[in-house]
């Protein structure tokens, strides 16, 4: 260790430490501002939602008889499902560049529908939503999807870096 008495009188360690801390703080703030700029100015955000519903009924006791009624259309309606069965519906997305999608289901159907929470895709993607019946009742909710797609090359690099661990 250096002896304080040996240092020249013109050096003030407290001032040097304060200058170093100030410089590091400025670097961190500039980096945060750059990240915010790329994230807010160069990334396009869109949201979408779909209603989801199904009714779990007692399984049929007669052979070759089914209680399954499949509804199709704009909503993810699974119809009536015998208890202990599962069904899968798909949402298809298309894009012209790499896109990040965050998927969340709200409502009492969320406990019984399995899906990927975060998806990174380029061109097109088919998201599977699988309803698994475990208890009698009526279940409904809303599938919410938040998309992020880059508008610029810098944002594309940022999005790839941000989602690198998801591949």
**What's the pLDDT tens digit per position in 22-34?**
888 887 777 665 5
Proportion of the chain in helix, strand, coil states, percent, rounded to 5: 30, 40, 30
Report the alpha-carbon distance of residue 62 to residue 159 in Å, rounded: 54
Q: Residues 94, 45: contact at Cβ < 8 Å?
A: no
Least confident of 35-39, 93-97, 118-122: 35-39
Residues 139 and 97 in one domain: yes
Residues 27 and 60 in one domain: no
Report the alpha-carbon distance of residue 88 to residue 78 in Å, rounded: 8
Q: For residue range 44-93, what is the model confidence (pLDDT) as tens digits?
A: 788 877 787 778 777 654 333 333 333 334 567 888 889 999 999 888 88
Report the alpha-carbon distance of residue 55 to residue 82 in Å, rounded: 8
Containing structural domain, residue 108: 44-166
Residues 29 and 65 in one domain: no
Residues 97 and 151 in one domain: yes
Closest CA to 110 of 80, 132, 88, 79: 132
Residues 77 and 94 in one domain: yes
Three-state SS across 76-113?
EEEEEEECCCEEEEEEEEECCCCEEEEEEEEEHHHHCE
Question: Residue 3 falls within a domain, yes or no?
Answer: no
Q: For residue range 112-148, what is the model confidence (pLDDT) as tens digits?
A: 999 999 988 887 888 899 999 888 999 999 889 888 8
* Domains contained in the chain, number: 2
pTM of the model: 0.60
Question: Residue 70 falls within a domain, yes or no?
Answer: yes
Residues 116 and 67 in one domain: yes
Q: What is the DSSP letter of 60?
A: P
């Amino acid at each position: 260790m250096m002896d304080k008495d040996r240092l020249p009188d013109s050096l003030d360690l407290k001032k040097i430490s304060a200058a170093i801390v100030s410089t590091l703080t400025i670097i961190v703030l500039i980096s945060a501002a750059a990240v915010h700029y790329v994230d807010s100015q160069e990334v396009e955000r869109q949201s979408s939602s779909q209603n989801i519903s199904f009714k779990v009924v007692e399984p049929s006791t007669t052979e070759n008889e089914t209680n399954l009624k499949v509804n199709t259309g704009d909503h993810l309606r699974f119809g009536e499902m015998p208890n202990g069965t599962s069904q899968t519906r798909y949402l298809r997305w298309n894009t012209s560049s790499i896109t990040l999608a965050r998927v969340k289901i709200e409502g009492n159907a969320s406990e019984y529908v399995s899906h990927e929470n975060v998806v990174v895709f380029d061109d097109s993607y088919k998201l599977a939503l699988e309803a698994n019946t475990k208890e009698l009742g009526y279940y409904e909710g809303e599938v919410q999807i938040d998309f992020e797609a880059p508008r610029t090359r810098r944002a594309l690099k940022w999005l790839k870096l941000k989602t690198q661990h998801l591949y």
